[in-house]
Structure 1
């Protein structure tokens, strides 16, 4: 879909507008389909993956503390048309190349140079069109490779983050079990012994330290 489209204007009654000579009056407007595709490519789905999610005052998440799990195929395939009117979308571009090749001779792949003489030649303008389209297809494929590398980097990050979270959960569970499954007898004995040592230390200290400091410690 092109970014801009040309449509016939409407008059105050909603009918097609024409000039004084009866010719249609056209205007250029933003293509609503292009806008929809652009909005789709910009969609976000933020997920809390244990990075310490925080929010802005307006309630939206701070992007550095969340992960955007939205994945649009348009980032890989692209959309719209370029300045030559050729599609940017890889699939549409391959289809246009295929349609162009279908116009060539099924005997030797040559195109007609002169429609009147039906002469088949390699000097046809059609070859320039083919080279232009193939060059754009190569760039589109390179863009897909870049997007794939970026996706692979994100996948590696998620794997590493998952490993870290699994280790954190295991460590926390061990700490919880260490508290819940403590031996009551051993815990009471340790506490009593600590209290006994503390009191004994205070008694010994009365003969060394001033009474005011001992009262403060009590």
Structure 2
């Protein structure tokens, strides 16, 4: 078979191009530490890697949301602890001492009442605390302060008197607001039921309406179930011209009971915080697992990649060396 010079050159150029391409691919593998850089190189692995990347970024979103929720809940817990500490201070420093016979002068009782009213105002301020631009205890209406204490001692939650009588329209509104939920997806498989409502077990409820913590309505004796209102009632009893010790003792007992309810609410927040901690550990472990899977699908064995690169470099240099001598002798050299 006759091999022409043009055929030899075309074959050389084709092989040299293939050698350059192989060298470029192996160099890219070493630099990027990836087994493929385009879907065309490995379609099956590229499809698998795409799924893993979606899972990874979704997990990252869940972790960011969890940090937001945890910070928000820390703010709620701090505010409730402030209120709880005020309640304990009132019970310890004023309620019991007010019943002491040596402290039952009008001036002393007046000073106790003034201190309790200051605590009452501070409780409202704590419950109107915010996280970023959202009020922590406003339920679904996080843009407006939930509590307002008027000069006559009336406490309202989102415009409704917290002492609304049971069975009234306002009481039903308060009850509805106390059950408001604000669900967030933390990677638990958020799903909806047949009524397009979030399945509670598939999401985390970060809502905490303030009236759940401090109470609303009244009991069968007509006493308020709200601890802030009860603080005002204690102050009223202390400011009365005639101090009724029995009445004050009943008010104090009710106040202490509501303080226990507030402590229980803080405990529930602690349980939710523990759940968030557990969820964060799960998401962190999931991130590590996904990264390992991504590495196994996309990553390259560096020892093998460097070996391949060295071989392709050697082949390319050899091709260049052949190219310098491929036309060193031609038909013209033999013409005399």
TM-score, normalised by the number of residues in structure 2: 0.40
Is 1:39 aligned to 2:176, yes or no? yes
Q: Secondary structure at the match of 2:192?
A: coil
Q: Gapped runs of 5+ residues in structure 1?
A: 5-29, 105-110, 113-125, 188-218
Query: Which structure has more helix as a fraction of its residues?
Result: 2
2:275 is matched with which residue?
157
Bigger drift between 60-69 and 145-154 goes to 60-69
1:178 is matched with which residue?
296
2:191 is matched with which residue?
54
Deviations 1:159-216 (A, max 9, x none): 11012101211220221122112249959xxxxxxxxxxxxxxxxxxxxxxxxxxxxx
The CA deviation at 1:42 is 0.5
After the TM superposition, which residues 1-218 of structure 1 pair with which residues of structure 2 at under 5 Å, given as runs?
1-4=163-166, 30-104=167-241, 111=242, 126-183=244-301, 186=304
Alignment partners' CA distance in 2, 1:86 and 1:2: 12
Deviations 1:3-51 (A, max 9, x none): 25xxxxxxxxxxxxxxxxxxxxxxxxx4332222211111011222122
Q: Gapped runs of 5+ residues in structure 2?
A: 1-162, 306-336
Flag the structure with more relative contact order, 1 or 2, with Cα contacts below 8 A and sequence separation at least 6: 2
Runs of 4+ in 1 over 3 A off after TM superposition: 183-187
Aligned pair count reads 143
Alignment partners' CA distance in 1, 2:304 and 2:182: 51
The CA deviation at 1:66 is 1.5
Superposition CA RMSD, Å: 2.2
Alignment partners' CA distance in 1, 2:200 and 2:164: 31
Query: Which structure has more strand as a fraction of its residues?
Result: 1
Alignment partners' CA distance in 2, 1:56 and 1:129: 51
